[in-house]
Amino acid sequence: MGPAELVQAAAMARRFYLEGKSKIQIAEEFGVSRFKVARVLETALERDLVRIEIRVPAELDAERSDALRARYGLRHAVVVESPADAAEDAPDPENLGEVAAGLLGELVHEGDVLGLAWGRSTIHMAAALHRLPPCTVVQLTGVYDAGTAERGSVEAVRRAAAVSGGEAHPIYAPMLLPDPATAAALRGQTGIARAFDYFDKVTVAAVSIGSWEPGISTVYDMLSDEERAHYASLGAAAEMSAHLFDTEGRRIGRDLGERCITVEADRLRRIPEVVAIAGGQRKAAAIGAVLRSGLVTSLVTDTAAADYLLHQTGPGPRPALDRADPDTR
């Protein structure tokens, strides 16, 4: 390109990339065809006259996020950098909660009903919330230990409702009960029944995922050794909101649900947006199992789990995108 061509190309590029003018407008200004404008802009890129740089915050991995979204048929996938010093057996990185709080701020709209399930990640997310449009917040599961309600999912529901200025509907009951009869009796109590009445109205839900091992699954930790062995024999690989899944994403141990205070899997499947928050190498296989179930539409995870998920072989994902897009409500 000669000096006149370079100057013209630079001017056209400025109009197009910085001033936002269309190729037709540029063509009219310079007295050329829009096809010539297109060729000049293409040449400007090839000759390095124009450099296009896509920048996201350093903690976000845009390439892995997009690959994960496409691989598992998700509506949204956000991958954050794993801490450099994270141990293989470390729990979910706390920054997952912060990023999930930002995502929730995008997904929740005024008048929505936000559902929060028990989980350390959802609790961290609620603590990191700084903005939410006015919405109702409902608890989707009982608590791990009723004695820790103030520091757990009940407080998460209160926190989210306080940020949004909406109503809070917590559940003051344990997640797992000794038998189905006790669980049924609790579900009939006024406060708990009121929360359950909102389950069919939930438009956005946040859930956590646990692998079937001690310290990583709340349900695993609450069961007896005999019960753990029984569900392991059925192929339990993952747990989400007291629902168990094998490696292929099939639900197993449905009898456990009869003893639990939790949103039913069929109701979860009808929620337009279900965001799972989970990461770390130790949870990676469990995350893959839950993604295959089709219950989750979006995921916030870290690079350690994402690398495993992107290179995993075996049964394909079950995309959850056949649900109504919440943005078209």
| Cα–Cα dist 193/179, whole Å | 18
- Would you state the pLDDT for residue 329? 47
- Would you state the pLDDT for residue 321? 65
- Residue 140 pairs in a beta bridge with none
User: What tokens were used for 89?
Assistant: 């057996």
- Count CA within 13 A, CB hemisphere, residue 58: 1
Q: pLDDT grade, residue 61 (50/70/90)?
A: confident
pLDDT digits 0-9 by tens, 210-229: 998 887 888 888 898 999 99
Cα separation values, 60 from 11, 210, 297, Å: 34, 23, 19
Q: pLDDT grade, residue 85 (50/70/90)?
A: low
Q: pLDDT grade, residue 87 (50/70/90)?
A: low
Nearest to 113, CA basis, from 204, 6, 247: 204
Nearest to 96, CA basis, from 247, 243, 206, 228: 206
Q: Which residue has the tokens 């028990």?
A: 118
Contacts of 82 (CB under 8 A, 6+ apart): 93, 279, 280, 302, 303, 304
Who has greater pLDDT, 314 or 212? 212
- Would you state the pLDDT for residue 220? 87
pLDDT digits 0-9 by tens, 246-294: 999 999 988 888 999 999 999 999 999 999 999 988 999 999 999 999 9
Q: pLDDT grade, residue 60 (50/70/90)?
A: confident
Strands 243-245 and 238-240: antiparallel
Average pLDDT, the chain: 87
Q: What is the DSSP string of 169-234?
A: E---SBSB-SSHHHHHHHHTSHHHHHHHHTGGG-SEEEEE-EESSTTT-HHHHHS-HHHHHHHHHT
| Cα–Cα dist 170/74, whole Å | 29
